[in-house]
């Protein structure tokens, strides 16, 4: 992919001019982590402020319709605060989390708070649910959503931070959730190492994410629009399995969700995305 086509992708995503300039000044085939990170933060900050786009890849469907397609029930979607669902997931991590009363939950990339609010109902009023997000506008939105319900979500806390550097104490969390976020991270090893650090012994991962089912074309890896749209950063399944195992996780299980092709196709109607990426359920235990 040429520098010109990268600049065109940046313009399509409405990322700041300073990022476009940074990318435009690079040699062809190079996209800095800083520029990519800034574009991701800009895109999701804009979504948080306007709520005008559902779907990680920007399919444009109604958020509740898309979330129902992913597996959320009408009761679940009706129970969360208005504006708590932006339709940015690619699965239902809570469906595999098997949350129990008394557990502490951490959501990596909590967005407007959907999975945090649902988790709070399952663990009880006296246990903590922590939502992490790198985007100040998302944190502001999720906190507003919680506060709009009075004391109903008094046990839910939203923290600003990066999932590669969690502001969470060692061995303090029972379950880590994440929904279509880890693919956005440039250093996935660091993300999983941090997850391992904060989990208690016996703690578990319950993650829905986009993974690569075959080698992604190199030019896609340099396309900001595909990065911010949760596609270009997808890691191969065997790479994720190796990362988790080498870090120390046990019972690693990654299951591609064949039904995800339908909504992924909507993210990039002019790109053969479904030949390269798929949503997957990722589970693992900390011994």
- pTM (two decimals): 0.87
Cα separation, 90 vs 183, whole angstroms:
11
Domain containing 125 — which CATH number? 3.40.50.150
Question: What total of structural domains would you count in the chain?
Answer: 1
- Name the residue among 139, 181, 175, 180 with its Cα closest to residue 163: 181
Domain that holds residue 237: 3-285
- Please give the structure tokens belonging to residue 56: 């990680």
26 pLDDT more than 90: no
pLDDT digits (tens, 9 = 90+) for 142-193: 999 999 999 999 999 999 999 999 999 999 999 999 999 999 999 999 999 9
Q: What's the pLDDT tens digit per position in 196-243?
A: 999 999 999 999 999 999 999 999 888 888 889 899 999 999 999 999
Residue-level pLDDT at 3:
30
Strands 173-179 and 277-285: unpaired
């Amino acid at each position: 992919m040429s520098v010109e086509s990268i600049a065109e992708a940046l313009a399509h995503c409405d990322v700041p001019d300073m990022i476009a300039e940074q990318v435009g000044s690079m040699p062809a085939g190079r996209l800095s982590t800083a520029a990519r990170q800034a574009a991701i933060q800009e895109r999701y900050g804009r979504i948080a402020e306007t709520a005008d786009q559902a779907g990680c890849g920007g399919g444009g469907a109604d958020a509740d319709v898309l979330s129902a397609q992913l597996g959320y029930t009408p009761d679940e979607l009706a129970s969360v605060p208005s504006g708590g669902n932006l339709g940015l997931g690619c699965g239902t991590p809570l469906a595999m989390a098997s949350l129990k009363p008394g557990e502490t939950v951490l959501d990596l990339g909590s967005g407007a708070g959907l999975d945090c609010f649902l988790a709070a109902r399952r663990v009880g009023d006296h246990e903590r649910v922590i939502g992490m997000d790198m985007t100040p506008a998302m944190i502001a939105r999720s906190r507003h959503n919680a506060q709009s319900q009075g004391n109903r979500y008094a046990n839910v806390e939203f923290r600003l931070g990066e999932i590669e550097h969690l502001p969470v104490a060692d061995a303090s969390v029972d379950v880590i959730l994440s929904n279509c976020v880890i693919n956005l991270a440039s250093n996935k090893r660091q993300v999983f190492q941090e997850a391992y650090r904060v989990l208690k012994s016996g703690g578990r991962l319950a993650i829905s994410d986009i993974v690569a089912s075959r080698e992604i074309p190199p030019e896609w890896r340099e396309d900001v629009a595909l990065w911010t749209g949760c596609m270009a950063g997808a890691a191969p399944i065997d790479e994720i399995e190796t990362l988790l195992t080498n870090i120390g996780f046990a019972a690693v299980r990654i299951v591609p969700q064949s039904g995800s092709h339908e909504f992924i196709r909507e993210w990039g109607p002019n790109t053969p995305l479904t030949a390269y990426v798929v949503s997957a359920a990722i589970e693992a235990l900390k011994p």
